[in-house]
Structure formats: structure tokens, C-alpha cells
Amino acid sequence: MIRVEMERLRETPLKTEPYDYVLVPEFVPLDCLDAIGADFPDISQPGSFPLADLKGGPAFNALIERLEQSDFRDAIAEKFDIDLTGRPMTCTVRGATQLKDGQIHTDSLSKLITVLVYLNPPWGEEGGRLRVLNSGTDLDDYAEEIEPSSGNMLIFRRSENSWHGHEPFQGRRRAIQINWVTSQAVADRERKRHRLSATLKRLNPFATRTA
């Protein structure tokens, strides 16, 4: 049975420096990861792919269904003291990273909350570890570094200083990204954008990804 550690989420304190974020280790329990990994959608190209365009197996789908439940949203809303009622949720999936990924950014203005759930085995690579940054200019000036594995989950409030990024890495790096956004129009636009990007990648695997 696929499950998540809701109590661990509720009990993990919110950090407010350099911006509001919560890091929940092993939010997806380790004994669930093998099944989810076996059922993970076949994504060999870099970039974010819209959930609706992917085909995952039963364990992966069960995890998505669990993350779509209202108690998950409500626990995040309470943690960040934000009303997410009626706010659309978007979900994209990554299976691989290219060397130019991970550049410093804050996420777009239309995003309210970003959730990153990492589904890789224990991480032995130097690159690819997400960093909560103190500024938008120095990747080595970070408050915390997150191993993108073992069911770890990072949640942060998008703000003008929600800088994050990672050292270059190329290869398999599996993650689910969930966002609550400002409006349905934004959600629809994001789905269309990711769908177009995914289509272009399938037609030309060597196409350059645009931000």
C-alpha cells in the first residue's frame, strides 16, 4: 500500500530564513519507493512533463492520488498560513536532468506554493542536490541542501527571494512537482506550455529546452 507521512509533514517546523520553506525527509516511506520507481512513467528526456500526458503504473498512480487529496493541501495551507481553497493545483513530472538545468531562479509569479517530491535512490552524485539559496547570485551561498532522493519533500512559498538551484547534473533524476497557482487560466496555460514542450522533445530529443 502506497502511503505518505502526513504526521511528519504536520510536525516539521516551518523555516522562515531565507524564505518560507519546509523540508520533510522520507515523506514517501522508503519501503514504498521500489514499487513507485518500478511504476514511474518512462521519461528519458529532460524537462517537465504534464501528468495528463504520462502513463504510470499502479504504485505511481496511487502516490499521485494521495497527493491530490484535500488533507495534503490543507496541511500545507495551515503550515504556510495561506488559503489554498479554490486555488488550482498543477502537477508535472521529471525523469531526467541535463547539464544546463538547475540555474538559479525563484519560480514564476503565478505560483503560490511549490512542492518537490524526490523519488530517486540514495544520491551519490555531487550535482543535482537542490539548494535553498540566500541570494540570486551565488549557488554556493545556501541555507540548506536537499538530497533529491529517498522520498524527501521540499515545500516553499514563492516570493521575490525564493532563490533555489543546483549544481549541474546529467542523468536520471526523478521528481514530482506540484504547484498551487493563482487562477485556472494560469493552470490551463501551464498545461498547454508543458504539453507543447513535451511534444517538441518527442519530435526532436535534442531540442533546446526554453525556460
Q: Where are the domains of the chain?
A: 6-203
* Sign of CA pseudo-dihedral 185, 186, 191, 192: positive
Q: E strand or H helix at 38, and its extent?
A: helix 30-38
Judged by phi (left if over 0) then psi (alpha if -120 to 50, else beta), residue 88 lies in beta
Tally of CB atoms within 10 A around 21: 21
Question: Residue 141 in contact with residue 159, Cβ under 8 Å?
Answer: no
Q: What is the pLDDT of residue 49?
A: 93
Give the tens place of pLDDT for each residue, 2-32: 999 999 999 999 999 999 999 999 999 999 9
Give the tens place of pLDDT for each residue, 173-185: 999 999 999 988 8
d(CA 67, CA 148): 18
Q: What is the pLDDT of residue 195?
A: 64
Question: Which residues of the chain register pLDDT less than 50?
Answer: 207-211
Question: Residue 102 in contact with residue 165, Cβ under 8 Å?
Answer: yes
β-pair type (153-157, 164-165):
unpaired
Residue 49, all three cell numbers: 512533463
Q: What is the pLDDT of residue 209?
A: 41
What percentage of the chain's residues is helix, strand, coil (to nearest 5)? 30, 25, 45
Fold classification of 6-203 is Jelly Rolls (2.60.120)
Question: Residue 106 in contact with residue 159, Cβ under 8 Å?
Answer: yes
Q: What is the pLDDT of residue 210?
A: 36
DSSP-assigned states of every residue in 46-80: SS-EEGGG----HHHHHHHHHHTSHHHHHHHHHHH
Tally of CB atoms within 10 A around 76: 20
Phi and psi, residue 163, nearest 5°: -70, 135
In residues, how long is the chain?
211
d(CA 145, CA 141): 10
